[in-house]
Copies of this chain bind each other. A is one copy, B any other.
Amino acid sequence: MKFPAPLSIEWMADFLSAEIVGKSDKSILGINEIHVVEPGDVVFVDHPKYYNICLSSAADFIIINSKEVTIPEGKVIFVVTDPFEAYLKIVRHFHPLTIPEKSIHNNLQVGEGTVIMPQVFIGKNVRIGKDCIIYPQVTILDDTEIGDRVIIQSGTVIGSDAFYYNTKKNRPHWFKKMESCGSVYIGNEVEIGAGCTIDRGVTGITRIGNGTKLDNMVHIGHDTHIGENCLLAAQVGIAGGTILEEGVTLWGQVGVSKTLTIGAHATVLAQSGVPSSLKGGKTYFGYPAEEAGQKRRELVWVKRIPELWKKVMEG
């Protein structure tokens, strides 16, 4: 999330009651989590294990709970007791919860020829392009941008919060919600079936590329980027921060884990599970998903075990 205007280092230190270490003449442009950080951003880190990743990232500003770190030239750290609470304080200040008073927010921008059917909810800061069809009972939450000629079928929810928690098992309430301030972008000619859910980015953007089609009950996690001309069949689920390059096909009930990449023109057969990245241009199958030919041969080999057993045990 970018701030509405650049912030000074002093303002931020004062806002967070933080000590400033390091020197920079830059302003703070936005807040992001470490996976999607850009120059000018502030990030937070609260575990020594991740200190170096954050300090050496593109972020120019780091909210941290220790001074005993080596600060790269030109970067500034904000030292606080609880960096996660500092993150929440910033997000709540610049992206407060909208309490809508009616079903369609006043500032909605809609292109010519777009049809919005009854019982649709549309939040703040939403843009919808031309010649779209939004079916009854669709929910489009704040900060969503939708292209032209998009179809969204009934019961679908766009812009739900990420499933993303700060976890510490030494307190009564283990999981604290990493509040989402990101957004959703849906390209032209995208079609989304009934009963789908597309989470917003935590601080970044969840993207569905031009011409991609989703069947019913497809779940897309936060910050996931789906390329152009992908086909996702019913009940597919994709976790957060994953990339599908263009022309990927996932058949029914496929599950894809987080922060991985599926290469262009790959096909994953029904019910397969994808725990790690897959190269493009091939067909995959099974859990963990492997090249389909290899996996099918394995199924045949399993059927030969009794023959093998007989030969070995009975001579």
**Which A residues are within 8 Å of any B CB, using their own CB?**
97, 99-103, 115, 117-119, 121, 123, 133, 135-137, 139, 141, 151, 153-157, 160-161, 163, 165, 169, 172-175, 177, 189, 191, 193-197, 199, 210-211, 213, 215-217, 219, 221, 229, 231, 233-235, 237, 239, 247, 252-253, 255, 257, 270-271, 273, 275, 287, 298, 301-306, 308-309, 311-313
Contacts and interface: CB of A to CB of B under 8 A. Distances in A.
Nearest to A155: B157
Given A115-B99, A197-B195, A216-B199, A155 B175 contact: no
A311 B311 contact: no
Nearest to A301: B305
A128 to B, nearest CB: 15
Nearest to A101: B118
Q: Which 3 A-B pairs have the closest CB atoms?
A: A160-B194, A121-B136, A163-B215
Contact of A313 (B136, B221, B311): B311
A157 B195 contact: yes
Contacts of A239: 233-234, 252
24 contacts: A97-B115, A99-B117, A100-B117, A102-B118, A121-B137, A136-B139, A154-B160, A160-B193, A163-B193, A169-B229, A173-B229, A175-B211, A177-B191, A194-B199, A195-B197, A195-B217, A216-B219, A217-B219, A221-B234, A239-B252, A252-B255, A271-B273, A298-B305, A305-B308
Contacts of A115: 97, 99
Contacts of A298: 302-303, 305
Nearest to A102: B118
A155 B169 CA distance: 30
Nearest to A269: B275
Nearest to A214: B163
B252 A237 contact: yes
A157 B121 contact: no
B234 A217 contact: no
